[in-house]
Structure 1
Amino acid sequence: MPTTDTMRAVIARGYGGPEVLELVRVPIPVPGPGQILIRVQAATVNPVDLLTRSGALADAGLMTPRATTGIGWDVAGVVHAIGPGATSFALGQNVIGLRDLLDRALGTYAEYVVLDACAVAPAAGLTALEAATLPLNGLTALQSLDLLALAPGDTGLITGSAGAVGGFAVELATRRGLRVLAHAHPADEPFLRAAGAEWIIPRDTPDLAAAIRELVPGGAHGALDTAGLGMAAVAAVRTRGVYVTVAGGIVPTPLRGIRIHQQWISADGPALADLATIGLAPRIAATLPLHQAAEAHRRMDRGGLRGRVVLIP
């Protein structure tokens, strides 16, 4: 067990800008049945953390308003203690995991975090920095592609394809034999070509649907909309195709028999274990110490990052 009874953690005190993030000292959590305690080596900053901190998720009814809220979903670290029944892991083992519970007192921006064992996977030789960017974004891409359910040889539009979710989605879609139409900034073409994209459609293209149909008569078989384009992406899909969005808010209308899905992430240790072994390209934009979490949020707020900021306790 830990040699001290307390740890450092970052919480949001109330809701607002990055200034509401506060570094506090709290008791180290204790793993219960089926849980493990992870000593955190890296925790990724994701857009959902900004929405949690700002109060947008509470306003949308996706979490109960709290006076203080834990921040952070992704974690990479070392198994430090094991609760009763969590027999799949060993003390000292390098692991990655996902906290998919929103309204909790502590998140992964901390020196230790407790997760259900079913939400954790072996790190499979990845460094902590590499591993930390994988759970939320990798599982979102994987589960979204499962919803698309396209067959090898089908064409798939991926918007925001140079982002953290989009980049993983391009790689995973290519591995499934899909022909990927990547919607991104032209400067990201080298990365996207290396990831397997067959076509690159510039992000500033005025009529996305027309551009897609020039490349693929009738439109794409499906679209994974990580950029939240909504109907602009739906219009690029052929009749009776499929569309998946990873953004919250209003879901597009299912015109022309198009099947519409909204992907909500869920922790999945076995799937995460598989993702850790296939050599996906790490998406690390920058690293900062834990006490600079507010600065990490400011950088995310400004946008333009390729990959994620990772906090190091």
Structure 2
Amino acid sequence: MHAVVLHEFGPPENLTYETVPDPVPGPGQLRIAVRAAGVHHVETLIRKGWVSETSPPLPRLPSIFGGEVAGVVDAVGPEVDPAWLGRDVVVARSTPGGYAELAVAQAANVHRIPDGLDHAAAVAMIITGNTAMGLLHIAEPTPDDVVLVTSAAGGIGRLVVQHLRDLGAKVIGAAGGPDKVAAVRALGAEAVDYNQPGWGHGIHGVTLVLDGVGGEKAKTAYDLIVAGGRYVTIGNASQQDFAQDNPNVTSIDALGLMLSGAVDVDFEAEALAAAGEGRLVPGVQSFPLAEAAAAHAALETRATTGKVVLVP
């Protein structure tokens, strides 16, 4: 099969498209002919060899990245019901990673894709959708909140905006550039371009910030929160921190709580059902599997909108 392999930590160009042996499912496993594979921002950091207290351990090289896989079951191992064959499925944890034409997963971890949901959308929901729902579970927004969402055009941000809109909260989405602002506005939220100077002027009464970007943009959002409000971290695309020094604002690192396991949230099935029913519609930007390096480069420079997906 073809796969994207990392032999040495470094720039996106270190991801090489090559031929590797087909994986064989073992006991309790099934094999998926991959139709879509998800790409995570954290994978761009791991590719560089980056480590932190909350990041996954660096893989042993050579490595095939990506656990999010959607496709069609084409083989089953011992102890697996052959009725799985031919089914459209999605899973968050596959081996080797999803940057490949074939991947193996534990049958117990696999979900059937709801009718009407395509492979790319299913991949966008299995981790990104699960994460978005978990973060909202921790943040506990209400219809009375005025919510400012940064990185609102991203994979998580788009889902969060839709949930808040349906909840009845006032939603302001901040994103970078006219195309992303238009995408947020199309979701039914107010939208601002946080690449423009003074972008926070005119925003008032913010009771909750859901921040996915960090750094100076997050600081601007933080300073807009009224007394008694909450600042909730749902990501840190910039990998930059800032001083959270307002005693009248409650800060919650929701993403850190989830990554550390301090809060147990498992919404995979619920996220897929919400997408299948049309209540949440993920944004997807697809790249050919052979262009995984370009996908990483675009994700790193925040040139993408929605969930980045590789298509063999």
- Regarding TM over 0.5, the answer is yes
Aligning the two structures, in what range does the TM-score lie when normalised by the shorter sequence? 0.7 to 0.9
Match among 179, 194, 199 for residue 203 of structure 1: 194
SS at match of 1:297: helix
CA contact (8 A) 1:254 1:260 kept: no
CA contact (8 A) 2:150 2:218 kept: no
Q: 1:122 to 1:276 in 2, by over 3 A?
A: farther
Q: 1:309 to 1:175 in 2, by over 3 A?
A: same
1:90 counterpart = 2:84: yes
In the TM superposition, residue 14 of structure 1 has moved relative to its aligned partner by 2.0
1:273 counterpart = 2:265: no
Q: Which amino acid aligns with 2:137?
A: D
User: Any unmatched runs of 5+ in structure 2?
Assistant: 260-264
Q: Corresponding residue for 1:236? A: 224
SS at match of 1:96: strand
Single out whichever of 90-99 and 64-73 deviates more from structure 2.
64-73
Q: Which amino acid aligns with 1:274?
A: A
Q: Which amino acid aligns with 1:30?
A: P
Q: 1:310 to 1:222 in 2, by over 3 A?
A: same
1:74 counterpart = 2:89: no
- Aligned mates of 1:86, 1:258 — CA distance in 2: 48
CA contact (8 A) 2:23 2:104 kept: no
CA contact (8 A) 1:119 1:269 kept: no
Q: 1:31 to 1:155 in 2, by over 3 A?
A: farther
- Aligned mates of 1:285, 1:61 — CA distance in 2: 25
**Any residues of structure 2 matched to 1:3-152 within 5 Å, and which?**
7-22=1-16, 23-33=18-28, 35-57=29-51, 62-64=56-58, 66-82=60-76, 90-99=84-93, 106-117=96-107, 119-124=109-114, 125-152=116-143
Q: 1:112 to 1:286 in 2, by over 3 A?
A: closer
In the TM superposition, residue 28 of structure 1 has moved relative to its aligned partner by 0.7
| Residues 249-300 of structure 1, C-alpha deviations (whole Å, 9 max, x = no match) | 6586363241322314676432233233132334233431x23322333333
Q: What's the TM-score, normalizing by structure 1?
A: 0.80
- Aligned mates of 2:98, 2:110 — CA distance in 1: 13
Q: Which amino acid aligns with 1:115?
A: A
Match among 169, 179, 183 for residue 191 of structure 1: 183
- Aligned mates of 1:175, 1:305 — CA distance in 2: 25
- Aligned mates of 1:126, 1:16 — CA distance in 2: 35
Q: 1:234 to 1:139 in 2, by over 3 A?
A: same
In proportion to residue count, which structure has more strand?
Answer: 1
CA contact (8 A) 2:129 2:268 kept: no
- Aligned mates of 1:92, 1:168 — CA distance in 2: 30
Q: Corresponding residue for 2:262? A: none
User: Any unmatched runs of 5+ in structure 1?
Assistant: 1-6
- Aligned mates of 1:190, 1:207 — CA distance in 2: 19
- Aligned mates of 2:232, 2:30 — CA distance in 1: 33
Q: Which amino acid aligns with 1:239?
A: A
Q: Which amino acid aligns with 1:224?
A: L
| Residues 128-173 of structure 1, C-alpha deviations (whole Å, 9 max, x = no match) | 2333333232222222211110112322111011122211211122
Match among 144, 149, 156 for residue 158 of structure 1: 149
Single out whichever of 46-55 and 56-65 deviates more from structure 2.
56-65
- Aligned mates of 2:133, 2:50 — CA distance in 1: 25
Q: 1:51 to 1:84 in 2, by over 3 A?
A: same
Q: Which amino acid aligns with 1:108?
A: G
CA contact (8 A) 2:89 2:112 kept: yes
> RMSD of the TM alignment (CA)?
3.1
Q: What's the TM-score, normalizing by structure 2?
A: 0.80
Q: Corresponding residue for 1:296? A: 295
Q: Corresponding residue for 1:245? A: 233
Q: Which amino acid aligns with 1:258?
A: T
Q: 1:79 to 1:57 in 2, by over 3 A?
A: farther
1:311 counterpart = 2:307: no
Q: 1:187 to 1:269 in 2, by over 3 A?
A: closer
CA contact (8 A) 1:21 1:293 kept: yes
Q: Corresponding residue for 1:4? A: none
- Aligned mates of 1:259, 1:293 — CA distance in 2: 36
